[in-house]
Amino acid sequence: MNIRDEKPQHFMAAVESYAKQNCDIVISTVEGDACIDKLRGLKIVTLNNPPKRSPIGAYLQLNNALEHIDNEYWCYASSNDIAYPHKIEKEIATLLKHKKKICYSAYDTMTENGRFIATREMHNFNAPKLFRACYISDCAMIHSSLNKHLPFDIKHKNYGYWNFWLTVYRNEGNVFAYNEVPTWSYRLSSNSMHIKRKQDPKLMAEYEADKNLMLNENKLKHYVQNIERNV
């Protein structure tokens, strides 16, 4: 979990939701973050001055935590989302059942104050929908055998995590399983970078350029354009 500049009450609720499960928690942040004093008893790894509140900073934090992952399964835990009871157990069980290596789950969207909005689903999960699905589910369960495709590529500063999904798909095939029962909730916040991006034409242009770079590198641009025309 990376926590740069997160609201303490949201962050602590996220940590507590994972602390109730049978897992280890690694917190990645930066020196001087206001939340550090609330983290006693947890494993903390820090960076010195990554770019302030930027996609690159988030991926640098995640890469900094990768060397501390020593379990067979792991997942990125968003710092303002809530894991439902037994999230980890349910997703690992799904992977074992289907003999796959990455498990996506449906999830609930919430207001910033915790009011339910809607459940986001990905029915009939298959390769043609992989591209679309990988842009809406960061909290997937991952088997450690896929760590060979890490660290996250920070030159894709808007798409480093999703570039990982496509790299896995290109090299491993369809190793993705889907759990249709929501295992976590996503807190919509007006302060989220993806919302601010939509309000800034310069950031949106950068975002689209980064998307095309990623697709070209994964040799998927033509494939994805065909999908988007037919979905």
Residue 1 included in any domain:
no
Residue 2 included in any domain:
no
Range(s) of the domain holding residue 165: 8-230
Q: How many CB atoms lie within 10 A of CB 221?
A: 15
Number of domains present in the structure of the chain = 1
Rounded Cα distance between 97 and 83, Å, is: 21
Mean pLDDT of the residues in the chain: 81
Residue 69 included in any domain:
yes
This prediction's pTM: 0.83
Say if residues 104 and 179 touch (Cβ distance below 8 Å). yes
| Residue 184: exposure state from Cβ atoms within 10 A (0-12, 13-18, ≥19) | buried
Residue 116 included in any domain:
yes
Give 70-97 pLDDT, tens digit per residue. Answer: 899 999 888 888 999 999 999 999 999 9
Residue 127 included in any domain:
yes
Give 39-66 pLDDT, tens digit per residue. Answer: 666 776 767 666 666 667 778 888 888 8
Structure confidence at residue 231 as a pLDDT band (50, 70, 90): very low
Rounded Cα distance between 209 and 104, Å, is: 27
* DSSP β-ladder status, 26-30 and 116-120: unpaired
pLDDT of residue 110: 92
What percentage of residues in the chain have a pLDDT greater than 70?
Answer: 76
CATH code for the domain of 20: 3.90.550.10
Residue 43 included in any domain:
yes
Q: Is the peptide bond before 182 cis (omega within 30 degrees of 0)?
A: no
Residue 20 included in any domain:
yes
**Amino acid sitting at position 122:** M
Residue 132 included in any domain:
yes
Rounded Cα distance between 176 and 36, Å, is: 35
